[in-house]
Amino acid sequence: MADLSQEEWAKKVAEDNNSVVLDVRTQEEVELGMIPNALHIDIYKGQGFIDEVEELDKTKNYYVYCRSGARSGQACSVMSQLGFKNAFNLVGGFNEWEGEIASQ
């Protein structure tokens, strides 16, 4: 797992043709807007989160974010424990995101 700044994260996502953007916020937070083309799996689902993440392709590179960067850091740790090689945490999360925003 690596913590990436907004600039590093956005640059890597743009250049990575094997990337998946993963939003781990609550449904209520997602309804306020999300990073375009993100996959949403709420980390607060507990075992449900783990079950859904286990179904993801472990060969992809995951760019994970939440509201501030704390939950996404936890999600990256969980993903590493589950055998994901590349999970990148967005430092500052959606609160500091300056890129494009999509509505759900």
Q: Tell me the per-residue pLDDT of 5-41, one tens digit each, with 9 for 90 and over.
A: 999 999 999 999 999 999 999 999 999 999 999 999 9
**Active site (annotated) includes residue 66:** yes
Give domain 2-91's CATH number out of 3.40.50.720, 3.40.250.10, 3.30.1490.100, 3.40.640.10.
3.40.250.10
- Any idea where the domains of the chain sit in the sequence? 2-91
| Lookup: tokens for 92 | 């500052």
The DSSP secondary-structure symbol of 60 reads S
Other C-beta atoms closer than 10 Å to the C-beta of 41 total 20
| Four-point Cα dihedral 52, 16, 12, 54, nearest 10 | 10
77 has pLDDT over 80: yes
The residue from 10, 38, 53, 66 that is catalytic is 66
- The pTM (predicted TM-score) of the whole model is 0.96
